[in-house]
Amino acid sequence: MIDATKTGMNDVIGRPISDLPRLDPKSDPKRRAAGNVARKDVVRRITNQVIFYSLLIGAWALLAKLRVWPPYLFPPPWNVAEALWAGLMDHTFLIGIGVTMKRMLVGYSLSVVLGMILGLGVASNRFLEETLGPLLVSLQSLPSICWVPLAILWFGLTEKAILFVVLMGCILSVTIAMEDGRRQMPKIYTLAGRNLGASGFRLFWHVMLPASLPYIISGLKQGWAFGWRSLIQAEMIFLTVGLGQLLMMGRDLNDMSQVIAVMIMIIALGYLVNRLVFRTMERALQSRWGLTPTS
């Protein structure tokens, strides 16, 4: 028998949990070291980005000062900044951003739902896999701009035509990603789920979908990029309110400062969506599955 009085167990037994000593994560030297390394990495990355973009803007300003090209073809950075500020102040750019993002969200949401259903069907049915599967891969190589004439003939110069172009730009990437995720998933996952009583939608929701998430997120990211480009191209041709229409307006007015300002906004919006949405999803997936990003 162990003597509790000698081991000090009497000091612990009977005490409420709230009174028991707790480990402070900050007192762990390994955690502190990992936190310091992470902070240094963030500082290093921000410093590199500041240096890079400062040099890029400096080279841009230098070329503008040297007048390698006429100012109306190659405006300096400060002219583009003035055009960007003016467009934001009179709400022209804000309206264009709002309309374009609304179209993108509607078309992208439809493509995600339809693409996941179609991809799951192709991966689960041998007939569809042998017939529709190769066609989907071939259609993905078709530039999104090729769908514009078809959309105009089917829907006219309407909002539905633009949404159709966005849908066709996104859905193929999502479908193929869902198909690959379903096919690459180990069969033992499905067997285990069925042995535990899951079937139908429950089997898909609790087993197939989580196991396919790495492929699906990659497809969602690629689908967004394709759909975003398709939308801007469609707006440029349809000449409706949006960022694409602002690009064409700048071209028609021979205002290169506005053209570059709109291009910067398109790039910035794509960057923000990638960082705030897809990078967050990837980090959550890595944390959930215990994955470590490659360096």
3-class DSSP assignment, residue 16 = coil
CA distance 203 to 207: 5
Encode pLDDT of 11-33 as tens digits.
444 445 455 455 555 555 666 66
Residue 7 zone, left/alpha/beta (φ > 0; ψ -120 to 50; rest): alpha
Closest C-alpha to 172, from 131, 129, 116: 116
Q: For 284, phi and psi rounded to 5 degrees?
A: -65, -40
Cα 25 to the center of its chain, rounded Å: 33
pLDDT per residue rounded down to tens, the chain (295 residues): 444 444 444 444 444 545 545 555 555 566 666 666 677 787 888 888 889 988 999 888 898 888 888 888 888 899 999 999 998 898 888 999 999 999 999 999 999 899 888 888 887 778 887 788 788 888 888 888 888 888 888 888 888 888 998 898 888 888 888 888 777 777 777 777 777 777 777 777 777 777 777 788 888 888 898 888 888 888 888 777 888 888 888 888 888 999 999 999 999 998 899 888 888 887 887 777 666 555 4
> Which token pair is 218?
């990659």
